[in-house]
Amino acid sequence: MKELTVRAYAKINLTLDVLRRRADGYHEVRMLMQRVSLCDDIVLSRQSGDISLRSNVAYLPCDSRNLAVRAAERFFDAAALGGEGVAIDLVKRIPVAAGLAGGSADAAAVLTGLNTLYGAPLSEERLMELGAALGADVPFCIAGGTMLAEGIGERLTRLPALPRTNVVLCKPPVSLSTAYVYSKIRCSRIRRRPDTAGALDALRAGDLAGVCRRMYNVMEDVAVQEHRAISDIKSAMLAAGADGAVMSGSGPTVAGLFSNRNAAEACACALSNTYRDVFCVETM
Ligand code: ATP
């Protein structure tokens, strides 16, 4: 095989709780993560010698600062394929720096795609190790589905899949760095936390409405103080019939879950009058 096309799927957080700040500065989290059908497309073409990348987003770096390139470098090192290279053609649809793990998704898709292209020299476990070294969300992006993530996000437990449902994603045109949001969080002063245990029980019972009722992200308080648009979007989704709505990751994208497809499409249509990055997708 010379060439392979792979999809890199985004994730949303159904819940996100920050438990404590560790001595090394990282934060311990507990979150329910869900793959959604919004994706980047990646074509991997074998070539000898070097790793190159081109993408449809002009401002994204094309060198080792791009997680897709870094993933390819790590793959060739780990698989001892020193003379090999790859041309990576990346079509991005997942908004960048949006809380949807777009870069991590690309890295995960490159790792698994190259492993397929080269006849599976690395085990899934090894791919997960390489992924964890690239970023805390990469192992989830390799595994997909519905997961409980603990530790700094890298410790994963597979959960029963969330019943398939419609998801409206809306990213307001503001930026929120993950480091900034974490710097503003004081774990001892968090007033409201998600009911993760209740959400887990609901998931195990296949109770979609029960999960939706418990969706919450402790980073929302900080994010909303910076950007009112986040709470405006959340309110608009709930008013349009969402079963639940929550900010994903460190934001600013808000995800609304709708059991009714028509309501999801109408909500996406209304939001797109105000916001450019609006998607109507599904859980996977
Ligand atoms: P997370 O939800 O994991 O915190 P995010 O969705 O907030 O991630 P990304 O879209 O992954 O953020 O982008 C974060 C940063 O990573 C950006 O500043 C971008 O320049 C850099 N980056 C490197 N490679 C990529 C890539 N392939 N796609 C998107 N961003 C990338």
Residue 1, pLDDT score: 83
pLDDT tens digits along 20-32 = 999 998 899 999 9
Span 119-130, average pLDDT: 97
Distance of CA 208 from the midpoint of ligand 1 (Å): 29
Does the reported pTM lie above 0.85? yes
Instruction: Reply yes or no on whether 184 is catalytic.
Output: no
Q: Name the active-site residue from 17, 40, 106, 137.
A: 137
Distance of CA 99 from the midpoint of ligand 1 (Å): 8
For the cut 90, the answer to whether the pLDDT of residue 187 exceeds it is no
- Ligand 1 near 66 CB (within 6 A): yes
- Ligand 1 near 107 CB (within 6 A): no
* Ligand 1 site-directed mutation target among 11, 39, 67, 93, most atoms within 8 Å of CB: 67
- Ligand 1 near 95 CB (within 6 A): no
- Ligand 1 near 277 CB (within 6 A): no
For the cut 90, the answer to whether the pLDDT of residue 177 exceeds it is no
- Ligand 1 near 249 CB (within 6 A): yes
pLDDT tens digits along 221-237 = 999 999 999 999 999 99
Q: What type of residue is 161?
A: A
Quote the CA–CA distance of 60 and 58 in Å, as a whole number: 6
Nearest residue to 5 via CA among 92, 102, 88, 104: 88
- Ligand 1 near 91 CB (within 6 A): no
User: What is the number of the ligand 1 atom nearest to the C-alpha of 248?
Assistant: 2
Instruction: Reply yes or no on whether 11 is catalytic.
Output: yes
For residue 130 the two structure tokens come to 């390489």
- Residues 157, 155, 131, 142, Cα dihedral to 10°: 10
DSSP string computed for the chain:
--EEEEEEEEEEEEEEEEEEE-TTS-EEEEEEEEEEEEEEEEEEEEEES-EEEEES-TTS--STTSHHHHHHHHHHHHTT-TTEEEEEEEE--SPTTSSS-HHHHHHHHHHHHHHHHTT--S-HHHHHHHHHHH-TTHHHHHH-SEEEEETTTTEEEE-PPPPP-EEEEEE-S----HHHHHHH--GGG------HHHHHHHHHTT-HHHHHHT-EETTHHHHHHH-HHHHHHHHHHHHTT-SEEEE-TTSS-EEEEES-HHHHHHHHHHHTTT-SEEEEEEB-
Span 8-28, average pLDDT: 94
**In this prediction, what percent of the chain has a pLDDT beyond 70?**
100
Distance of CA 260 from the midpoint of ligand 1 (Å): 31
Ligand 1: which residue has its CA nearest to atom 23?
A: 66
**pLDDT bucket at 188, cuts 50 / 70 / 90:** confident
The residue ranking higher by pLDDT, 177 or 278, is 278
For the cut 90, the answer to whether the pLDDT of residue 48 exceeds it is no
Ligand 1: which residue has its CA nearest to atom 20?
A: 60
Span 88-113, average pLDDT: 97
User: What is the number of the ligand 1 atom nearest to the C-alpha of 60?
Assistant: 20
**pLDDT bucket at 186, cuts 50 / 70 / 90:** confident
